[in-house]
Amino acid sequence: MKKLGRKQIFGILSAVVALGVAAAFFVHDSAEEAAFVPYTQFVEWVDEGLVQEVAVGEAPVIAFRLHNSENAYETSNPRNPGLTEQLLLAGVDVVEQGSFAGITSLLPFVFLGGIFFFAFRAMSKNSGKGAMALNVSASDISQSDVNFQSVAGNVEAKEMVADVVDFIKNPDKYARYGARMPRGMIFYGPPGTGKTLMARAIAGEAGVPFFAVSGSDFVQMYVGVGASRVRELFKKAREAGRAVIFIDEIDAVGKTRASGGNGGNDERDQTLNALLTEMSGFSGSEGIVVIAATNRLDTLDEALLRPGRFDRQVEIALPDLTGRESILAAHAKGKPMEKSVNISQLAKQTVYFSGAMLENLLNEAAINAAKSGKETIGQNEVDTAFYTVIAGSEKKDRSGIKEQERRITAYHESGHALATKLLSPENSVAKITIIPSTKGAGGFCLNLPPDKMYYTKSELERQAISLLAGRAAEEVIFGEENITTGASNDIQRVNALVKDYVTKYGMSSKLGLATTTGEAADTECREVISNLYEQSTELMRLHKDRLDKIANALLEKETLNEDELDLLLA
């Protein structure tokens, strides 16, 4: 525990003395008629530093007075156990209601001194962070003037959220059919990809207010504050009628307990519980949607993702070539770009740039032009800006990703796609991309035929071969010594699949129906996997020309949809 410095002790003592004086005044004045103000008004005044002293207790109302005013005020008692501490931290004097009689005794001083002690401790822990903001002051409440047109690219994500706009506009229509619309959505993807923009656009399209807060606003405060801020936020949204509530950095509140580090965190749990309680309180006909954003979905507490909560998860990924071109075009609009600046060429050069970086790029270019007094923005200004943006972006943005890595990813993903197309043509490969997603290195999405009751032995084997084909393609093209860690997720999945194949489904020809576990099963799994991997590399070797074709197309276009893929293979 941190020892109190001399300054702090002095602070405590003078505060206690001041408090005594204030309390005396308070006793003196308490007979006056007090004016009642709403609690939100009170909180605002506290935030603005207007409140001098407050008498907190068990009564339905709490009394307070302002600096430079003789009037007495009252407001509703929120009965929040954390209130006293929040007030103290905001520099407001607090007296306990009903303890005036003891004012001359030393006891209250000891008691209050204790409160100050803990308050100071909490303060030093939080390194002087602004003391109190009970209202949603950190949030931005606005009528959004952004709409779907402001969001360039992100086509799939837009499709996934389009119905929500209609739901916010006409909640009754859906309620009438007994449809349960999402109360919460999670947008996940790398920073700067337009998650906030998209949430704002939903509000704009629906023509409702947009309430934005950050998860970190909730938890850097003191116990109980986060929860009460959540309640306050939802109250305001309800008062507005229909609304979009946006919670950025939801991980701050909703991280899995496992990944949370130092075990339980009361404040975070309370805040999370308050959030879930508020969401479950929606009747479904309110037209309020909560959108949370995170960079990583896999770190979130399961509780958040259950039905009735944030049960729609939308990936907002880094833009591919086409996406970058439309984002660049959108931000070039209204800027005096020279004709010679080739936007599609620029899109090609900006692999792994997020939307925010692209916006930044053109903005820097404009600044460069303005600095040198040029009328228009030319290639020179763009080039200079390019290096500014690259240098300013951290490595984790992956913008500096090496060409060789891109090639390996392209072949890896092509391997999966090719094997699936060759072995399981009944399965669709909806999309294949080399733009990294939060789920894994590249992106390959395979839609298995839905609602299958069972799979045949051959189907399982083909599925395993396709899963192994990423690594197999790496090995065939780049040699065994150059295989990468990019396949780790595939390998885990294959192992799980083969384990079931051997021990659960009794499909191994060697062990047959015996559901053995232990060494015999392990050995057999290993054998099955290595056999399947052998088949997978064989397949890649045999169809190397097609593999090259897909990989080259991927390197050029970054994303291929099913039609494009079929065309390449035809």
Residues with Cβ within 8 Å of 402's Cβ and at least 6 positions away in sequence, in order, are: none
**For residue 310, is it left (φ>0), alpha (ψ between -120 and 50) or beta?**
beta
Residue 193 binds to ligand ADP (criterion: CB under 6 A): yes
Q: Minimal CB distance to Zn ion: which residue?
A: 470
C-beta of 166 vs 562, nearer to Zn ion: 562
From Zn ion, ligand ADP, none, interface partner of 224 (C-beta below 5 to 8 A by class): none
Judged by CB under 6 A, which of 52, 84, 144, 196 binds ligand ADP? 196
Encode 313-380 in three state secondary structure: EEECCCCCHHHHHHHHHHHHCCCCECCCCCHHHHHHHCCCCCHHHHHHHHHHHHHHHHHCCCCCECHH
Q: Site residues for ligand ADP, window 134-173 (CB under 6 A)?
A: 151-154
Residue 293 binds to ligand ADP (criterion: CB under 6 A): yes
Question: Residue 178 is encoded by which pair of tokens?
Answer: 């007994």
Catalytic residue among 85, 413, 461, 524: 413
Residue 204 binds to ligand ADP (criterion: CB under 6 A): no
Q: What angle is formed at CA 100 by the lines to CA 97 and CA 103, rounded to 5 degrees?
A: 135
Residue 558 binds to Zn ion (criterion: CB under 5 A): no
List the 140-143 sheet strands across, edge first. Answer: 140-143, 209-214, 243-248, 288-294, 184-188, 312-315
Residue 470 binds to ligand ADP (criterion: CB under 6 A): no
Q: How far is the CB of 558 from Zn ion (least distance, A)?
A: 16
From ligand ADP, Zn ion, none, interface partner of 490 (C-beta below 5 to 8 A by class): Zn ion
H helices of 60-106, in order, are 83-89
Residue 203 binds to ligand ADP (criterion: CB under 6 A): no
C-beta of 324 vs 416, nearer to Zn ion: 416
Question: Residue 238 is encoded by which pair of tokens?
Answer: 């309800």
Paired with 337 in beta bridges are 377
Asked whether the beta carbons of 443 and 436 are under 8 A apart, the reply is yes
From Zn ion, ligand ADP, none, interface partner of 194 (C-beta below 5 to 8 A by class): ligand ADP
User: In Å, how far are 143, 529, 549 from 480, measured between CA atoms?
Assistant: 57, 17, 21
Tell me the per-residue interface mask from 437 to 476 with Zn ion, x by CB under 5 A, - otherwise: ---------------------------------x------
Judged by CB under 5 A, which of 490, 503, 550, 568 binds Zn ion? 490
How many C-beta atoms surround the C-beta of residue 443 within 10 A? 22
C-beta of 194 vs 415, nearer to ligand ADP: 194
Residue 195 binds to ligand ADP (criterion: CB under 6 A): yes
C-beta of 398 vs 439, nearer to Zn ion: 439
CA atoms within 13 A on the CB side of 32: 17
Q: Judge whether 44 counts as a catalytic residue.
A: no
Q: Which amino acid is at 371?
A: K
From ligand ADP, Zn ion, none, interface partner of 193 (C-beta below 5 to 8 A by class): ligand ADP
Judged by CB under 6 A, which of 330, 477, 502, 547 binds ligand ADP? 330
Task: Give the residue numbers marked as catalytic.
Answer: 413
Contacts to ligand ADP by CB under 6 A: 151-154, 191-197, 293, 327, 330, 355-356, 359
Task: Point out which residues bind Zn ion (CB under 5 A).
Answer: 470, 490
